[in-house]
Amino acid sequence: SKNEERRSMVFLRKGPKLPAWEDALLAGREPKSLLKRGLRYVSLSLIMKGMTSTPDFLWGLHEVQKLNLSRNQLVVIPPSLGKLDRLVVLNLGGNCLKCLPKEIGLLRNLKVLFVNMNCLKEVPAELSLCRKLEVLSLSHNCISQLPLSFTDLTSLRKLNLSNNRFVQIPLCIFALRSLDFLHLGSNKLENIAESIQYLVNLQIFIVENNNIRSLPRSLCYVSTLELLNVDYNAIQSLPEDLYLLRRLRRIAWNPMDKGLHIAHNPLSRPLPEVVEGGLDVLFNYLRDKK
């Protein structure tokens, strides 16, 4: 009857909506119709679609340059990822990935990669084949080491390794001379190697919430530093040459501010009162002491 048909139509309208890509395919549209063509990049966003696996049609969209698969429930990314060799930006954040396929090394045009908030325990050595990579976020995973081949990522400028399981800063990082941002907060670091001085372009260095007991003298020679965050560590004394970091403009309290973040450390030399006096007072104290 017509009444029953109306009721069934209402029920269908109220039912759970299909993800946009499924809806498009069921309507007979080409997968390419999902692509957005901007001024610079051809992009595809499948964010928050409840996906537990990637749709097969995805690997045929060879022209896509920006791909966002973040905030789903993906457990694995298949080797077919390597077919998307025009990718410039890839966002896999907020999934359940335990590993990345070695075929990620085929993405030779990749400049930005987010794999934050997953379940990674290691990073494939093949990632170092992405020589154009400039931004890499691996935060909020279970990683404790990086492959030595990372020394080949000479274009890398921003690296986020926060909220992982690093006990020491991986040696390969000190070869990344283009780095201007390095975040290693909320790990298990006990020290900062003297080799930190080789990061000659480093502007932002964050190692808050670790187990660091002292700062190396060589850190004072990274003259490009504008933000140094060592909050919430076990630091008892500061190197006498710290005043050489002239781009640190002040003692900073807001996490977003540039400057020296030194709060919540058991400082005995200099006395906490000296630090509270501001950066000029602190630097004068260190100069006089030297």
Task: Choose the CATH number for 157-289 among 3.40.50.620, 3.80.10.10, 3.30.450.20, 3.30.1600.10.
Answer: 3.80.10.10
Give the per-residue pLDDT at 18. Answer: 55
Tokens of 209: 């919430």
> Residue 87's beta-bridge partner residues?
none
Rounded Cα gap, residues 116 and 119, in angstroms = 9
Inter-residue contact 235 to 266 (CB < 8 Å)? yes
Give the per-residue pLDDT at 269. Answer: 77
Give the per-residue pLDDT at 68. Answer: 97
CATH 3.80.10.10 residue ranges in the chain?
A: 37-138, 157-289
Rounded Cα gap, residues 202 and 186, in angstroms = 19
**Topology, domain 37-138:** 3.80.10
Per-residue pLDDT of the chain (290 residues; tens, 9 = 90+): 545 555 544 444 444 555 656 666 655 568 888 899 988 999 999 999 999 999 999 999 999 999 999 999 999 999 999 999 999 999 999 999 999 999 999 999 999 999 999 999 999 999 999 999 999 999 999 999 999 999 999 999 999 999 999 999 999 999 999 999 999 999 999 999 999 999 999 999 999 999 999 999 999 999 999 999 999 999 999 999 999 999 999 999 898 899 999 999 999 878 788 888 899 999 888 888 77
Of the candidates 134, 124, 171, 169, the one whose C-alpha atom is nearest the C-alpha of residue 151 is 171
Give the per-residue pLDDT at 20. Answer: 59
Rounded Cα gap, residues 123 and 147, in angstroms = 7
